[in-house]
Amino acid sequence: MSTTLKDLRPTPKTGLLDIAAYVPGKEHAHGVAKVYKLSSNESPLGASTLAADAFATAAKNLEIYPDGQATALKQAIAEVHGLNTGNILCGNGSDELLGLLCQTYLSPGDEAVYTEHGFMVYKIYIMATGGTPVVAREKNEQAEVDAILSVVTPRTKIVFLANPNNPTGTYLPFEEVRRLHAGLPKNVLLVLDAAYAEYVRRNDYESGMELVSSSENVVMTRTFSKIYGLAALRIGWMFAPAHVIDAVNRIRGPFNLNSAAILAGAAAIRDRAHIDRAVAFNDEWLAYMVEQLTTLGLRVTPSVGNFLLVHFPDDAAKSAEAADAYLTSKGYILRRVTGYGFPNALRLTIGSEEANRGVVAALSEFLK
Q: pLDDT tens, 271-312? A: 999 999 999 999 999 999 999 999 999 999 999 999 999 999
Whether residues 217 and 148 fall in one domain: yes
pLDDT tens figures, 251-264: 999 999 999 999 99
Domain span including residue 17: 12-41+273-367
Whether residues 264 and 147 fall in one domain: yes
At residue 325, φ and ψ (nearest 5 deg) are -65, -45
CATH number, domain at 265?
Answer: 3.40.640.10
pLDDT tens figures, 310-339: 999 999 999 999 999 999 999 999 999 999
Sorting pLDDT into bands at 50, 70 and 90, what band is 14?
Answer: confident
| Residue 44: predicted pLDDT | 97
Whether residues 182 and 299 fall in one domain: no
Whether residues 229 and 305 fall in one domain: no
Higher pLDDT, 19 or 268: 268
Whether residues 138 and 194 fall in one domain: yes
In this predicted structure, which of 25-34, 68-77, 84-93, 194-203 has the lowest mean pLDDT?
25-34
Whether residues 85 and 118 fall in one domain: yes
Whether residues 16 and 59 fall in one domain: no
Whether residues 244 and 322 fall in one domain: no
306 CB contacts (<8 Å, ≥6 apart)? 41, 43, 196, 199, 226, 227, 282, 286, 349, 350
Does residue 117 register a pLDDT over 90? yes
| Residue 8: predicted pLDDT | 82
Mean pLDDT of the chain: 95
CATH number, domain at 298?
Answer: 3.90.1150.10
Distance between CA atoms of residues 216 and 190, nearest Å: 10
In this predicted structure, which of 25-34, 166-175, 331-340 has the lowest mean pLDDT?
25-34
Whether residues 76 and 144 fall in one domain: yes
Does residue 246 register a pLDDT over 90? yes
Domain annotation covers residue 7: no
Whether residues 151 and 200 fall in one domain: yes
Domain annotation covers residue 4: no
Query: What b-and-e string marks burial along 260-287, b requiring 16 or more CB atoms within 10 Å of the CB?
Result: bbbbbbbbbbbbeebbeebbebbeebbe
Whether residues 19 and 61 fall in one domain: no
Whether residues 80 and 167 fall in one domain: yes
Does residue 67 register a pLDDT over 80? yes
pLDDT tens figures, 228-242: 999 999 999 999 999
pLDDT tens figures, 137-161: 999 999 999 999 999 999 999 999 9
Peptide bond into 167 cis (omega under 30): yes
Domain annotation covers residue 5: no
Does residue 129 register a pLDDT over 70? yes
Q: Are 340 and 352 in contact (CB under 8 A)?
A: no
pTM over 0.85: yes
Sorting pLDDT into bands at 50, 70 and 90, what band is 1?
Answer: low
The structural domain count of the chain equals 2
Domain annotation covers residue 1: no
